[in-house]
Every structure is written in structure tokens, then in C-alpha cells.
Amino acid sequence: MSGLALEVAVNRWLKPAFEAASSYRLEIDWRPTTAIMKSIAEGQRADVVIAINGAMDKLCADGIVRPETRVCLADSILGVGVREGAPKPDISTVEAFKRTLVAARAVAYSRAGASGIYFTGLVERLGIAAEVNARAVTIPMGFTGEKVASGEADIAIQQVSELMSVPGVAVAGPFPPEVQTVSTFDAAIFADAANAEGAAAWMALLASPSAAKAYGDGGLVSRLAQS
């Protein structure tokens, strides 16, 4: 199980490297941390989970994962995506960011993901919720960039790394620092992992120098050197 923010780093580099160097084959259930926690509460398990650190705190406290295996992997920030080839809007300041959102034909965001939950509160605080939501394209989960690639929206809001996952979408830039939020992703092995040996091997790669590079190339900020 893994949060969507790691998709680029894992699928483009880490998963192929892991499978080429071992006899293991990875099956990854990609979904927002909120959905991961719901599935776990309903009894679903895997060998390794990658989730936002606040959720991982709960999994450790509840004995669902082994705390001694926990590794802090990377930070993820929010950004704006546009269709590849389209002019990149000015989002350099909070006022410019507000103007871009209000002027957009349609803004796509996720209702379930951490990015969408934060964005919902942010537009309220900025006083532009009515204007943005009147033309918003919301999805239950998944990649908001797909709505930009399809032409249903001209702005996508999500983690920068998640925007990078969608062909045909370009990252216009991160949110302005004053309204930015950082999500930190941790990994750990389930207490009742069916394949503990394979889980340990996968965790070793997730915490390796090659993983640190993959996180950076995948739109994240590695936390491995700081752990």
C-alpha cells in the first residue's frame, strides 16, 4: 500500500530496480493515505505501507506496523498543473495565485486526498471558495492531472509528484510559500506481513541512496539524509 505521491519515484525507478535485482514481484495498491487508513481499519493488510507520517503514528501506536522498521522517506509539496504546452500561470505570490484560481475555466482537485482536503480549506481562508467551487471538477481519488489532460479542467491541484505522474500535464510550479503545506511520507512493515523477508528487502531499497535520488527526480524532497 502506498500514497500516490510516491508513484513516479517507485514506478519509474525503484520498482523496476527491485524486481531486476531480486526474485520478488511488487503489487502496489496506490491510493490516498485517507483511503489507506480506511482499508486498514476494515482489515486489509499488505507487507509494507507508505503513508503520511501522522497516519503512520497511529499505525505504530495501534500495533498494526512494526515501529522499529519505520523510515522517514520524503517530503511532498503542493503544486499547480496545466496542460503540456499551455502557458504557465503566475502563481508566484498569494495574490497572483488567487487571481489564477479565480480566472480558471475549471480547477480540478481530489475530495479524498490530503491535497484536496487542504485546498478546500485554503480557498475558504482566501475568500475565493464560491468562485473556485462554482467551476470545480472534483474526483473521489486518483490523479487530478487527468482532468487537465482530458480538457475537462485547465488547472489541477495536487502534490507536485502526483502531477508529474500524468502524461500531457506540466507542473506550473508549487504553491506560494505562505500557503504551502508539506506532507511527509514514512514507510513501515506490517506486524503481520505475509512476506517479511521480501518486505525487509523492499524497505532496504526505499531507504537507500538510489531511492533518495529517485525521490528527488520524482518531485519529492528526500528525507533520508536527515533521518
In tens, the pLDDT along 90-123 reads: 999 999 999 999 999 999 999 877 888 999 999 9
- The enclosing H or E element of 34 equals helix 33-41
CB environment 154-189: b (16+ within 10 A), e (fewer): bbbbbbbbbbbbbeebbbbbebeeebeeebbbbbbb
Query: Could you give phi then psi for residue 82, rounded to 5 degrees?
Result: -130, 170
Q: Where are the beta strands (DSSP E) in 56-192?
A: 71-83, 107-110, 137-139, 155-159, 169-174, 182-189
Look at residue 227 in the predicted model and tell me its pLDDT.
45
Domains located in the chain, CATH noted: 4-75+183-226 (3.40.190.10), 77-179 (3.40.190.10)
Mean pLDDT computed over 196-203: 98
Report pLDDT for 112.
78
pLDDT tens-digit series, residues 15-58: 999 999 999 999 999 999 999 999 999 999 999 999 999 999 99
Beta strands in 85-147 (DSSP E): 107-110, 137-139
Q: What is the overall mean pLDDT for the chain? A: 96
Alpha carbon distance 129, 49 (integer Å): 34
**69: pLDDT strictly greater than 90:** yes
Condensed to tens digits (0 to 9), the pLDDT of residues 166-197 reads 999 999 999 999 999 999 999 999 999 999 99
